[in-house]
Amino acid sequence: MAKSKDKKLLKPLGTGDTTIPPKDAKMIPIFIMGREYIVPETLTIMKAIEYSGYKYVRGCGCRGGICGACATFFRFTGDYKLRAGLACQTVVDANMIIVQLPFFPANRPGYDLEDVNPESLHEELRAVYPEVFKCVGCGTCTRTCPMDIDVMDYIALMKRGDLKGASHKSFDCVMCGLCAARCPAQISQFTAAMFVRRLFAKYEMPQAEHLATRVKDVNSGKYEKMLDKLLKMKQGDVQKLYVEREREPDMAELGNWLPEDKTHL
C-alpha cells in the first residue's frame, strides 16, 4: 500500500466524474481496494471512486439512493468498527477504507405464488424461508441498514405471522443486501421480505379496482394505437410531448387528481 509521503504521486489517475469540487475543497486520503487516493472531501463514495479513475461497470444504478446497487462496506484506519452505506449517498471521510459489494449471494428460492395455499401463508413462509425462524435477535441487521429500517423488527413480525406488519415495515427496502451480509443466522432478510410482501399483496391486501380496470384495458389492446403513434414519432416530438405533458401537482389531493385531457385514460 502506498505511504502518505508519496501523496504527490497518487493524484487521481483520471476523472470519470464530471463533478467540479467547490474551490478550495480539502483533499483527503481514502483507500479503494487497498490503494490510497487523494480526493475532495465533498464527494460521495461513488463519485470519489470515479474521481480516482475507476469506471463503474457493476455496483451502480440510480445514483439516488433507490436501487440498492451500490452497497459498500468501509472502515477507518485505526478504528475496529465495520460500517456500511450506499456509495451514492455516503460522503467520503479521511482515511476511509472502502470496498463495494456489487452482488451478494442471497438466498432466492424459487416459488410460484399461484401454488401458495392462502389459508396458511405463515406456513408457506416457513417452507420457503425456514432460516427466518432462526433469527437470534442480535440487531446487527438493523444497525447495518442504510435505509434506517428496523430489519430485526420486520423479521420478528414475520416470525409471528404478521405479514401485513412485516410488509409495511420492510417497504422502504432498496435490496442492497447489507443486512444479509452481516446476519449470523445467515438469513436473507430482504429476499424473505420481498416474498412476504408478495404474499400479502396477493392474498391479504384488498385488491385495487382501478388497477384491475387498467390491466383489463391494456390486455384488451386499448392502448395499442396510441403506442403505435408514439413509436412512429420523431425523437424530438416525443421529447416535446413528454416535457409538455400534464403533470399531477405535488400538492394534489391523494387519489383525486385527473388530467384535463382524458382521451388516454
Residues 110-149 that bind ligand FES (CB under 6 A): none
39 is written with which cell numbers? 480526493
Residue among 100 and 132 whose Cβ is closer to ligand FES: 100
Q: Give the binding range for ligand SF4 (CB under 6 A) out of 90-98, 134-142, 221-229, 245-253.
A: 134-142
Round to whole Å and give the CA distance between 42 and 63: 16
169 is written with which cell numbers? 415495515
Residues 50-69 that bind ligand FES (CB under 6 A): 60-63, 65-69
Question: Cα–chain-centroid distance for residue 158?
Answer: 21
- Name the minimum Å distance from CB 172 to ligand SF4: 7
Residue among 84 and 199 whose Cβ is closer to ligand SF4: 84
* Using rule CB under 6 A, residue 67 touches ligand SF4: no
* Residue 215: exposure state from Cβ atoms within 10 A (0-12, 13-18, ≥19): exposed
DSSP-based three-state secondary structure for 140? helix
Question: Cα dihedral angle (157, 158, 160, 166), rounded to 10 degrees?
Answer: 40
Residue among 59 and 165 whose Cβ is closer to ligand FES: 59
* Using rule CB under 6 A, residue 87 touches ligand SF4: no
Round to whole Å and give the CA distance between 155 and 163: 10
- Name the minimum Å distance from CB 89 to ligand FES: 6
Alpha helix stretches (DSSP H) within 129-188: 140-144, 151-160, 163-169, 178-182
Secondary structure letter of residue 263 according to DSSP: T
83 binds, among ligand SF4, ligand FES, none (CB under 5 to 8 A by kind): none
- Name the minimum Å distance from CB 56 to ligand SF4: 19
157 binds, among ligand FES, ligand SF4, none (CB under 5 to 8 A by kind): none
- Per CB under 6 A, residues contacting ligand SF4 are 68, 135-141, 144-145, 147, 149, 151-152, 155, 173-179, 182-185, 187, 189-190
